[in-house]
């Protein structure tokens, strides 16, 4: 079997209400849908972040991929995305989408799900975390979340609807004192749920330590990237006994794992099949963490159904996945896969697809619809804060 072509389609899907994070806002989710075509008529699906730079990566890699055997993933990796290329030129996101598609092709050729190609599933359902954001009101003047009461109210709706047993509270938006109060309100409202916090590295070491001490008695599942940089993370880890640290920012690549262990930086590595250069590479990183005694969770980057399925297959094969993966998925209003959005089961879980490959198919009409919408969203899904036009957000903010 040989690859004969690669095509990609930008798409933009609206969300319930604009999400706020430390450095801007998400008015919707922008992704690129990738299709890898073979001479045997099989088409593999992939997905990555949206934006012109990712389209440029795909355009550069396309001629190198044509003629290759989709089963020869190591050859393809070294040809398209050798470690130096990933580190120096940032090809990782575009390559990950192509790797997803090659695995999808392999699964269809063999009649096996991707999880079987990775060594087999250890679990049939994957529990996800309900993602809590401060939000602006949508065009219908609904959905705003700006204080502790509104955050708790939204969390109640989310838990009632999907049954999440873990909540992830996005920080770095309001002053730390207000976000401390909101976490305490969430803990009182949900005494039995796991609750984690993530300020996207918006705090200084001193602020992170102060927040950790104030929340010490409120059972934080873990601090995710309270500060920027491995050395700063190590300092927070040393100064906050009893507070677990996680990262997908300071520690976000395969090569980061060795210094993470040597410097005793954190307790939970948040894998991402996009950022680690594919599903297979992310699984290898998970195996390294297993050997070093580090737990793993999973980062979310506003996935559509193809990437959501890729994450689920990866999660199904990781023995040391002890933290429920993050997921923006419940904020989406629609999807580009047949049958609509992947369903949540009891406990905020999603079933591991059992069909061949990734187990999802494109809805061509939906893809065309959201491709047209993407043409009106040239900046993609990350923009400046609309309430602070022109403002530059420094890091750290506090």
Q: Computed from CA positions of residues 19, 333, 382, 327, in that sequence, does the dihedral angle turn out positive or negative?
A: positive
**What is the rounded CA–CA span in Å between residue 220 and residue 222?**
5
Which residue is listed with tokens 């602020």? 207
Active-site residues, by number, are 170, 299
3-state helix, strand, coil in the chain (%, to 5): 40, 20, 40
The helix or strand, by DSSP H or E, that contains position 43, with its residue range, turns out to be strand 43-49
Contact 181/364 with Cβ under 8 angstroms? no
What would the two tokens of residue 149 be? Answer: 């009461």
Query: Which helix (H) or strand (E) covers residue 111, if one does?
Result: none
Alpha carbon 227 to its chain's center: 19
Query: Rounded to the nearest 5°, which phi and psi values hold at 178?
Result: -70, -35
3-state secondary structure of 61: helix
Q: Is 218 helix (H, G, I), strand (E, B) or coil?
A: helix
66-92 burial, b at 16+ Cβ within 10 Å, e below that, comes to eebebeebeebbeebbeeebbeeeebb
Q: Helix or strand or coil: residue 323?
A: coil
Query: Which residues does 227 contact at the CB level (< 8 Å), separation at least 6?
Result: 201, 203, 204, 205, 208, 233, 235, 236, 250, 396
Q: The tokens 């989310």 sit on which residue?
A: 158
Three-class SS state of 259: helix
């Amino acid at each position: 079997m040989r690859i004969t072509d690669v095509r990609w389609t930008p798409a933009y899907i609206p969300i319930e209400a604009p999400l706020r994070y430390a450095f801007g806002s998400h008015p919707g989710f922008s992704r690129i849908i990738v299709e890898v075509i073979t001479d045997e008529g099989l088409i593999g699906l992939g997905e990555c972040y949206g934006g012109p730079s990712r389209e440029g990566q795909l355009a550069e890699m396309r001629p190198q991929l044509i003629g290759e055997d989709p089963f020869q993933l190591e050859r393809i990796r070294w040809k398209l995305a050798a470690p130096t290329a990933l580190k120096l030129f940032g090809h990782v996101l575009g390559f990950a989408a192509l790797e997803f598609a090659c695995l999808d092709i392999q699964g269809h050729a063999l009649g096996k799900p991707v999880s079987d190609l990775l060594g087999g599933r250890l679990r049939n359902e994957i529990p996800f975390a309900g993602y809590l954001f401060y939000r602006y009101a949508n065009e219908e003047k609904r959905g705003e979340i700006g204080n502790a009461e509104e955050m708790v109210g939204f969390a109640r709706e989310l838990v009632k609807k999907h049954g999440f047993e873990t909540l992830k509270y996005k920080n770095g938006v309001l002053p730390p004192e207000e976000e401390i109060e909101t976490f305490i309100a969430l803990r009182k409202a949900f005494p039995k749920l796991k609750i984690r916090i993530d300020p996207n590295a918006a705090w200084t070491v001193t602020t992170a330590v102060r927040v950790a001490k104030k929340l010490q008695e409120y059972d934080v599942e873990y601090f995710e990237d309270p500060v920027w940089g491995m050395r700063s993370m190590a300092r927070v880890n040393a100064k906050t006994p009893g507070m677990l640290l996680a990262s997908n920012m300071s520690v976000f690549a395969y090569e980061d794992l060795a210094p993470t262990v040597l410097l005793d930086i954190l307790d939970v590595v948040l894998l991402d099949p996009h950022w680690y250069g594919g599903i297979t590479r992310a699984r290898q990183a998970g195996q390294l963490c297993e050997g070093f005694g580090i737990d793993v969770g999973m980062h979310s980057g506003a996935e559509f159904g193809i990437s959501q399925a890729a994450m689920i297959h990866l999660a199904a094969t990781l023995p040391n996945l002890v933290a429920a993966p993050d997921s923006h998925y419940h904020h989406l209003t629609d999807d580009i896969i047949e049958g609509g959005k992947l369903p949540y089961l009891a406990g905020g879980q999603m079933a591991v697809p059992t069909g061949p490959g990734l187990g999802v198919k494109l809805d061509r009409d939906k893809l065309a619809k959201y491709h047209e919408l993407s043409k009106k969203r040239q900046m993609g899904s990350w923009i400046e804060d609309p309430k602070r036009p022109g403002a530059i957000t420094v890091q750290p903010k506090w």
